[in-house]
Structure formats: C-alpha cells, structure tokens
Chain A
Amino acid sequence: MTVADEIEKRSAVKKAASSAVSGSNGHSSPAEREAAIARLRTMLLIRRFEERTFYEYTSPRTLPDGTREMKIGGFCHLYSGQEAIAVGCAALFDKSRDYLINGYRCHGHSLALGMNPHTAMAELFGRATGCSKGKGGSMHLFEVSAGNLGGHGIVGAQIPLGLGTAFAQKYRKTGGVTFCFMGDGAINQGTFNEALNLASLYKVPCIYVVENNGVAMGTQVERSSAEKDLAERACGYAMPHWNIDGNDVDTVITEFGKAVDRARSGGGPSYIVANTYRFRGHSMSDPMKYRKMSDGKWSPEVEEAKKHDPILLYSNRLMQAGIISAQQIEAMEAKVNEEVEAAIHQAEADPNPALEDRFNDVLAETYPYQPK
C-alpha cells in the first residue's frame, strides 16, 4: 500500500458512519456548537498534518544537481491517534497566562495552540521561517507568544521545567496554569519523582498529563511499569491522580477542567493519565514488529484501537447531535487538506537559514557583559 493510500484509508469521514458513540455534552448554545466544530477541525488538521509529514519524511527532494536530500531529518514522532488530548487541553487553555510544556511528540499540541501549519512544517524542513528558525526541528517546536514552551527531546526532562513555569505562575499570582505533558515511558525517569513531589509540596498550579499510548518506543507499559495502573504511580505525592479516556475530547475537556479549576483556585497540582493509542510507529524508522503477529499480520489490538479513533468518535457524536453533517465534515476536511498542502508548498519554497545564523540565539547578552 502506498502512503497516499494509507492517508486515504485513514480519512476520518470515510469511517465516520461505521461506529456509534454515545454521550455528548456542552452543545446547547451556538457558541458551543461552533467551538465543537472548531475542535473537530483542529483534530482533522493535526491528523492531516501528521500523515502528510509521514509522506514528506519518506519522500526526499531532488536537488538541481540531481542528488537527493531528505526533506525532514532526524527523529520525527507523529501524534496520529492522540489528537483528543491536545485539542481538549487547548479548549481550556488561556494563552494570556497559561503554559504548555511537552516532550518531543509535540506537533499536535503546537497546532492545537494555534501554531500556523506552515511555521510548523517549515521547522520540520529546517527552514529559516520555522518556529525555531530551523534550529529545533520536529522535537523542539516552540511558540512562546502562545504559551507553548516547547517540545523537549530528552525523555522526562520537561517535567521539572513544567514545575518551574507553574512555580512562576504562583510566585507572580497570575492565576495561570501549566500543562506538562509526558509519555508513559517518561514516568520511569527520576525527574518524575522529584518534580511531582516538589509540585505538590509547593502547591504549584501544574497539571501533569501522561499520554499513555501503551508503549514507549517498543516497550509496552506491562514491561516498563511494575504498577500497571499508571494513575497509581502518583499515589505518593498527595495530589489527585486519575485515569481518563484520552480518545474522547469531551471527556478530556471535562476531566482536565477539574484539574484546571483546582490549580487556578490555589489547590495545587493534579496528575491525569489520558489513555490513548499511537497509530503510527514510535518514530519514522519503527517497523512496529511489536504490534505484529508471528505471521506478519497486525495484531487485533490495532484494529481494536482504530475503533476508538478520537476523530471517528467525535465526528459521530457531532453528527448524531445534529451539529454537523457528513457532507460538512467532508468539506471541512477538504479545506484542512488544502491548508496543509499550502503549508507544505510554502515551506518547501522557503530558504534555509543563512549559514551565519548558526551563531545566533546562543546567548541573550553580548560579552564582555557589564550590568547597566
């Protein structure tokens, strides 16, 4: 199967009618309905962006001299399947005072907080127009003006940083909260223990979210965590900790909302395990052997997970509630696809950073430095 086929097959609309989901909330006012549609749109945008990223990653460009060059280099981790979590967070996020800090699987959260897909794709292409001027790459998307304090490439390194941004929010009494995301693998790092204890000790407004996609690279949770219930991993920190369905954006909003209320009102941190599934490999080089059976076919787990595709769930819910029709979703998806194509086009045409720019952005001051 070609990559294009794969993208086609994954089209949420095509599958939207195939499974029914119950339960909807907060769709009574026109504003709420509009917000719901916007959330679906963002989920579609993230999915399309990621699936096109997969394609771009695997399609080298041909240079004028005939040599071929990878468009996207290094490690690249796709968010397909986990969209409801980032989009649910964005629904609660107040850009004027909240912060989001993340691991390296950061495209989805960045788009959800409003990063222009062009700026994001340009960063993947290493262009001067990328959000980090081509110096960060896929794992390090930042948009500080939107409260997006970046993707961080070292597993677990961002957990103390989120503690620090939340500390600053409390220190300055801004009423802001920090969303600090990590994977199920990251909770096995020492920083997890240190940061969660400190967060609770200092009562900082931090919401620690574990995106439990069941696997860290190829190591399933069963093989990495002695305690199988990952919510229980936070039971020693005197903070609320609970599991949620991370594939249901409405649930995510409701549950994250409880943690936000607690944090904004001075109650301190929370720890939420959002259970989800990663549709793609860990990074681009992952043949996902651990998801295959001895005959090479996908294990039943994969088909099962696709039934819980967050886009599928939400499309169905909105259609059943009469908020949007299948045709409207299809039209919206076409628009999103165009937007992503335009972003890729523009990023492709953009310049590389000037070679001299490699020396910039190392330090903020010039030296010798003498205070004024």
Chain B
Amino acid sequence: MAVMQLREALRSAMTEEMERDENVFLMGEEVAEYNGAYKVSEGMLERFGPDRVIDTPISESGFSGLGVGAAMVGLRPIIEFMSWSFTLVCLDQIVNNAANVRYMSGGQVKIPITFRGGNGIAHQLGATHSHRTESIYARIPGLIVVTPSNSADAKGLLKSSIRCDDPVIFLENEKMLNDKGDVPEGEFTLPLGVADVERQGADVTLISYGRPLDRVVRPAVKALTENENIDVELINLRTLRPLDTQTLLESIKKTNRCVIVDEDWGYCGMGSGILFKLQEPAFDYLDAPIKYVHSDEIPVPYNHHLEEAMMPSVDKIVSAVKEVCYR
C-alpha cells in the first residue's frame, strides 16, 4: 500500500493510462502550464508534452464537444472541468452528443471519453459554483456516472473509467483532494457498476457516496456504533449509473431498514432516484419506510454557517437511522 492524497491518486491513474495508451490525452482549462487549477495534473505537461496535455480557453461547449468528436473516431480523451457546475453551459454536448450519438447511429460509434472534475458543495463558493450535478447526469441513458470517496476509489475507478468504451461522468470534490488514503501498489482497477459494502452490519443499511461519506456518514456510523449500539451496514455506491441495485437489495433483505444520504436536493435528487429503484423490490423486506437525508431545498448559501446548516450532518443522519430503527 502507498499513502496518497486523492489528487495524487487521480494523477497516478491518468499518468498510468496515458503511458499505457497513446490515444489517451488530457484537456481542460489550466491543466497544462498552470499545472491544474487544483493541481491534479501537476507535472503532467512536463511528462507528456503539449500534444497530450492541452490547455483550453474558457469554452466548455467547445472542448467538451471536441472530446466527444475525438472519441467518436477512436481517441480516449480525459476532459477536465474546473467544476461540474460549469457544465451547465455545455450540457448539450454531454447529454445529446456523448450520450446519444451511439444510439442514434445504431451502434456505429463508441464514445470512450472520461469527463472529470470537482462536483458538489466545496465550501463557501456560493450557489453558482456548488451544484451537485449527479442527478442531472445519472438519469441519462448512455452515460456512466462514477464518484470516488477516497484515494483508492479515485485511482481504481478512474483507471477503469478511462479504459471503458462508454462516456464516463467522473465526479470528484475539491474538498477531498487533500485527503490521504491507502492505495494498492501496482496495477489496480475497480469495477464500474459495483457498490462497495465498506462495513458489514446487521441493523440498518446506510447508502451514500462521494464527499459526505468522509464528511458526515462515516462519523455518524461511528457515533451510532459507539453511542447507540446500532450495527450499521455502510455501502459506498462508487457508481451511480448503472446503480448496483442487487448489492443494495441484498443488504436491505438482511437489515430490513435503509437510510440514503447525499448532499443533493431531495426532490428529484440522486437519493430520489435510488429510492425509485428500491421501493418496490425492497417493500416486502422493510420494517420502516426508507429515509432520505439530503440538503435543504434552497440555493447553496455563501455564509459558512448557513451552508453547513443546509447539508446533511452527523446529527441528521443519526436521528434518521434511529427513526428507521424505532429507537
């Protein structure tokens, strides 16, 4: 095992894949000469040169569409967005071109592209820069949506995403880039479409993904174990589309209780989509309705206290879990 920052894990995944396949290139705003807006691609220009690590002007539609076009004819672009919030200006290139062109051509093309960058709330950036775009993309047939929650996830999932022949939406979070974690040495990939049962438990299934895992969910599990004597089964989704419904259902069959946590808005949010997949097949196994802990339905406020207050907290998760356990 090597200890790596999440950003280093991402960099090492990209570097290995670029060394392995010369069709892979990295493109985005400030990825080359500036060494990455968040230093994810630091040193990559020097290593691979300007033909493969390419700075773009601020033209999200232009360069995301460039990536899709290049992928249509066999290159394997990694397109970095400074923030997924900025993809609202190029949704069409992702939703119509990346996701639909294969289908509309009757399978004549593949779109082996990875779009990646920071997603979600990343501390006091205000409403425009704090969008949780997972529920926008996870509902689109033709896309794969992946989100790491630690360094090992970041490396294994990103390598698989780059290798995969479908368009992958890879959602990082700026606030996680410094987090350190163990990453297996040598060639290491993780499967797409498989959730990780990261803690076995008997009493309740807790489902989450991405940043809230470390921020509030893992601490909540600790509190529940230590203070409430509730044995939580914790599932890190890793892939949001396609959802690993099977793993979730197997867990619910065992625990008969379920809580979903994310930082999205509740109505039509990511957790609502997960609920849609679960409520019917899980119904007969549930001893309580599934609870969904999500952010408040307001634009994301700038003030630190207000921002903190709108998001799921350890307390909110603990009370939701206690509620489904009738405790």
- Hey, which bits of chain A sit against chain B, CB under 8 A? 99, 101, 130-136, 140, 142-145, 149-150, 152-154, 157, 159-169, 171-172, 190-191, 194-195, 197-198, 201-202, 360-365, 367-371
Contact = CB atoms under 8 A, between A and B. Distances in A.
B189 interface: yes
Nearest to B54: A202
Can you list the 3 inter-chain pairs with the closest CB atoms, starting with the nearest? A164-B69, A160-B65, A194-B62
B134 interface: no
Interface in B133-162: 141-142, 144, 159-160
B73 A149 contact: yes
A135 B103 contact: yes
16 contacts: A136-B106, A142-B105, A144-B109, A145-B108, A149-B69, A161-B68, A161-B72, A164-B73, A165-B72, A167-B75, A169-B73, A195-B61, A198-B66, A361-B106, A367-B192, A370-B189
B25 interface: yes
A197 B160 CA distance: 33
A355 to B, nearest CB: 16
Contacts of B97: 152, 157, 160-161
B64 interface: yes
Contacts of B61: 160, 190-191, 194-195
Interface residues of B, number: 54
Contact of A135 (B104, B160, B163, B194): B104
Contacts of A364: 102, 110-112, 165-166
A171 B75 contact: yes
A362 B105 contact: no
Interface string B167-208: 000000000000000000000010111100000000000000
Given A133-B107, A191-B62, A198-B63, 5 more contacts: A134-B106, A136-B105, A150-B101, A153-B96, A363-B144
B74 interface: yes
Contacts of A360: 107
A132 B69 contact: no
Contact of A132 (B74, B105, B110, B242): B105
A344 B92 CA distance: 34
B68 A164 contact: yes
B78 to A, nearest CB: 14
A176 to B, nearest CB: 9
Interface in B78-136: 92-93, 96-97, 101-112
Interface of B: 25, 51, 54, 56-57, 59-75, 92-93, 96-97, 101-112, 141-142, 144, 159-160, 163-166, 189, 191-194, 242, 244
Given A136-B105, A142-B108, A368 B69 contact: no
Contacts of A362: 102-103, 141-142
B74 to A, nearest CB: 7
A135 B141 CA distance: 14
A173 B165 CA distance: 23
Given A154-B96, A163-B69, A171 B102 contact: no
A165 B106 contact: no
A161 B104 contact: no
Contacts of B242: 367
Contact of A144 (B71, B105, B160, B192): B105
Contacts of B68: 160-161, 164
Contacts of B165: 364-365
B58 to A, nearest CB: 9
Given A197-B59, A198-B66, A371-B164, A164 B105 contact: no
Contact of A195 (B62, B96, B112): B62
Nearest to B187: A371
B25 A171 contact: yes
Contacts of A361: 102-103, 105-107
A172 B105 CA distance: 24
Contacts of A194: 59-63, 65
Contacts of B112: 364
B65 A191 contact: yes
A370 B70 CA distance: 24
Contacts of A130: 106
A239 to B, nearest CB: 15
B108 A160 contact: no
B92 A154 contact: yes
B103 to A, nearest CB: 5
Nearest to A371: B163
Contacts of A160: 61-66, 68-69, 93, 97
Given A164-B67, A165-B69, A171-B25, A371 B105 contact: no
Contacts of B54: 202
Contacts of B192: 367-370
Given A191-B62, A198-B56, A164 B164 contact: no
* Residue in A132, A165, A166, A363 whose Cβ sees the most chain B Cβ within 10 Å: A363
Nearest to B51: A171
B70 A171 contact: yes
A149 B97 CA distance: 12
Contact of B62 (A131, A143, A198): A198
Contacts of B164: 365, 369, 371
Contacts of B141: 362
Contacts of A168: 69-70, 73-75
Contacts of B191: 368-370
A12 B198 CA distance: 72
Nearest to B59: A194
